[in-house]
Amino acid sequence: MENQYTYYKPEPDDMNGMNEETPKPKKNRKVPKPVKLVCAGVAFGLVASVTFQTGNYVGTKVFGTTTTNGKTAKTAQTVNGAKLTTSSSSTGTSDVATIAKNAMPSIVSITNMSVQEVQSFFGGTQQQESTSVGSGIIIGQTDSELLILTNNHVVEGNEKLTVSFVDNESVEANVKGTDSTKDLAVVAVKISDVKDSTMDEIAVATMGDSSKLEVGEQVVAIGNALGYGQSVTSGIVSATERTLDGYEGGTLIQTDAAINPGNSGGALLNSNGEVIGINTAKVATDSVEGMGYAIPISDASDTIQNLMNQETKTKVSEAEQGYLGIQGVDVSDESAKMYNMPTGVYISDVVKNGGAQQAGLTKGSVITGLEGTTISDMNSLKEQLQYYRVGDKVKVTVQVPGNNGEYTEKTVEVTLGSKS
């Protein structure tokens, strides 16, 4: 069992001066630049994205999901006025236990089966199956699907996704939408595949307001630590609006609640038992303890809403897959700032008579979206194209450069062609 995901690991030079007087905290303060982002995940086999996701209910009012089929998951209970404490008193233990008990029905485990190309013993490459595990949050329900929030890196590269509920029943799931920049994804499970007894056990989680968090406020983290099953840790909010090099999705919540491999994507709960963050990373070094990070749920709500409303995707075979007909180069956040251009995929060339050329896409433009999903690099573009066949029409969002160096956003419909 190998941990391969995101931790921030400072270089030795970053630790110099840590015993000196610390300046007054500022908003949006960055962790030292050499610190590297690593997601907390557990992989079984060669590769794997593992994360935990926990239930988060934004419900009809926020996410606009409804159900009328009579097969409905209940809403997770919250604990009004519960006071969390790290002491060994029975009161503190009871409070955390109550919050965890109420949240558990909203939390699922996610297994990602993928196929990786690896170096063979005799030279060359071969394909090998790999499994990773994570967690997810039940955030809504439609007439036909349960919607589950997780991290993008949990589902990335999947050949097959399996969701396991609180009663250990498992069903197959499909990706609904992903955002690699914010490291968010929504997967869907067909309600017809879920047993009635399981529907009675699970719940849609309750969403909190992360914008109201205060430093020092107590929180609870739940996730599938090390792939051993759901575990609970507690701590405080150490800081808000943290920025970390390697994560370009915005600011993060910092907490000292233990975030272990496999916790990535799990729920960070407030004292009412409401989800206020999605656990995603930690600092990993012998010199640092208790520095975990979560994506603020309120900051992510618009993205989640968009992902929930996308069409559920099923991968097509490689022989059927459609192609844009471009050659591209990644535009990283650093390159974008250096050259004053948008992040995404820079079109370095277009294939003659390919779909992109026929739709009017030209060299020099930057692809930033495909069918409502953010495109941050070639990997994310290839990932999205795996769901579309030759002849399918897709809407591509591009930034087109003008004579003055400014970029103008444009959406183009491209008919996908075959691989040239």
CB–CB of 236/258 below 8 Å? no
CA-to-CA dists, residue 395 to 184, 357, 367, 404, angstroms? 21, 14, 11, 26
- Please confirm, yes or no, whether 164 is among the known catalytic residues: no
d(CA 339, CA 341): 6
Secondary structure letter of residue 207 according to DSSP? B
- Please confirm, yes or no, whether 264 is among the known catalytic residues: yes
CB–CB of 85/281 below 8 Å? no
- Please confirm, yes or no, whether 197 is among the known catalytic residues: no
CB–CB of 251/289 below 8 Å? no
Q: Which of 237, 219, 280 is nearest to 53 (CA)?
A: 280
DSSP 30-49: BPPTT----B--EEESS---
Q: Which residue has the tokens 């450069």?
A: 401
d(CA 224, CA 109): 7
Candidates 14, 95, 114, 153; catalytic one: 153
Nearest 5°: phi and psi at 143? Answer: -60, -30
Nearest 5°: phi and psi at 208? Answer: -100, -170
CB–CB of 263/224 below 8 Å? yes
User: Which DSSP helix (H) or strand (E) runs through 63?
Assistant: helix 59-63
Candidates 130, 180, 264, 376; catalytic one: 264
User: Which DSSP helix (H) or strand (E) runs through 306?
Assistant: helix 297-308
Candidates 95, 179, 183, 377; catalytic one: 183
Q: Which of 266, 235, 137 is nearest to 189 (CA)?
A: 137
Active site (catalytic) residues = 153, 183, 264
